């Protein structure tokens, strides 16, 4: 298996040929997606464009939909939820489609929506996604972070390194690291693997969240390694379902 990692959507080459992509946004989009589907949400549809989200969601009965919107770490006015994994509880999301747009994560999903296989990963479902990749026997896998408004993020690279390390530890498949971005991510994981919440808090986005409010429970949730077995998978373009 050839593994590559790109920090943000704009870093991915136009002519990339990999068929499988893993999207990461630890703080907090892919953690929220994994938790929502784990708690019974019917699906999560991601949008980079808010106007398109509003148009698509208007076609659904209000009783069957949830609007989840975030910009700058804060919930958007007129939306049901912000981008918090602790808010997508079973009683709120069960059997509903979530229409989701966030500052960073949904841009990455838009970049790889035409790939054959697309999965959402964070620290909480690292092992589950890794096992799925191994079972597929993928030849090439692209890992894509989300960053912050087009710039590098510490926490997404941490999770990319966590996934690569898990895959490398498996005897089911040989793993080749293709680019230095992923080599650096593996080194970052080795440095911080015993203090995940410390890494999240030290990151610039973690510090941003701490400045705008009390997000202690979000940090705790986002740092719980291999806590759930849900693998969010794109079965229709831009729409994620639970495996």
Q: How far is the C-alpha of 225 from the C-alpha of 175, rounded, in Å?
A: 22
* pLDDT tens digit sequence for 124-172: 999 999 999 999 988 999 999 999 999 999 999 999 999 999 999 997 7
* CATH number for 56: 3.90.1560.10
Q: Is residue 238 in a domain? A: no
Closest by Cα among 8, 31, 1 to 164: 1
Residue 188 sits in which domain range?
A: 2-232
Burial of 63 from C-beta contacts in 10 A (0-12 / 13-18 / 19+): exposed
Retrieve residue 127's tokens. Answer: 């092992």
What's the pTM? Answer: 0.97
* pLDDT tens digit sequence for 76-118: 999 999 999 999 999 999 999 999 999 999 999 999 999 999 9
Average pLDDT over the chain reads 96
Q: Is residue 27 in a domain? A: yes
Number of domains in the chain: 1
Q: Is residue 155 in a domain? A: yes
Q: Is residue 175 in a domain? A: yes
Summarize the chain as % helix, strand, coil (round to 5): 40, 20, 35
Q: Is residue 90 in a domain? A: yes
The partner residues of 3 in beta bridges, in order of sequence, read 141, 177
Task: Find the radius of gyration of the CA atoms of the chain.
Answer: 16
Neighbours of 57 (CB within 10 A): 19
Q: Is residue 83 in a domain? A: yes
Q: Is residue 143 in a domain? A: yes
Q: Is residue 241 in a domain? A: no
Rounded to 5 degrees, φ, ψ at 210 are -65, -30
Query: Does the N-terminal peptide bond of residue 115 adopt cis geometry, omega within 30 degrees of 0?
Result: no
Which pLDDT value is given to residue 243?
81
């Amino acid at each position: 298996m050839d593994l590559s990692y790109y920090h943000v959507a704009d870093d991915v080459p136009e002519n990339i040929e990999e068929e499988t992509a893993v999207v990461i946004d630890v703080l907090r989009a892919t953690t929220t997606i994994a938790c929502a589907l784990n708690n019974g949400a019917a699906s999560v549809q991601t949008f980079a464009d808010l106007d398109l989200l509003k148009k698509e969601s208007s076609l659904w009965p209000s009783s069957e939909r949830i609007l989840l919107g975030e910009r700058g770490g804060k919930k958007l006015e007129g939306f049901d939820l912000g981008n918090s994994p602790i808010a997508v509880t079973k009683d709120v999301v069960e059997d509903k489609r979530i229409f989701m747009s966030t500052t960073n994560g949904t841009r990455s999903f838009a970049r790889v929506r035409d790939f054959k296989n697309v999965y959402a990963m964070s620290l909480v479902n690292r092992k589950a996604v890794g096992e799925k990749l191994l079972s597929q026997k993928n030849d090439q896998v692209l890992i894509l972070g989300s960053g912050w408004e087009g710039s590098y993020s510490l926490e997404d690279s941490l999770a990319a390194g966590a996934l690569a390390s898990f895959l490398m530890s498996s005897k089911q498949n040989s793993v080749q690291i293709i680019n230095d971005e992923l080599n650096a991510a593996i080194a970052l994981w080795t440095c911080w693997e015993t203090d995940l919440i410390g890494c999240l808090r030290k990151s610039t986005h973690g510090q941003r969240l701490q400045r705008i409010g009390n997000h202690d429970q979000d940090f705790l949730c986002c740092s719980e390694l291999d806590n759930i077995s849900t693998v969010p998978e794109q079965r229709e373009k831009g729409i994620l379902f639970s495996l």
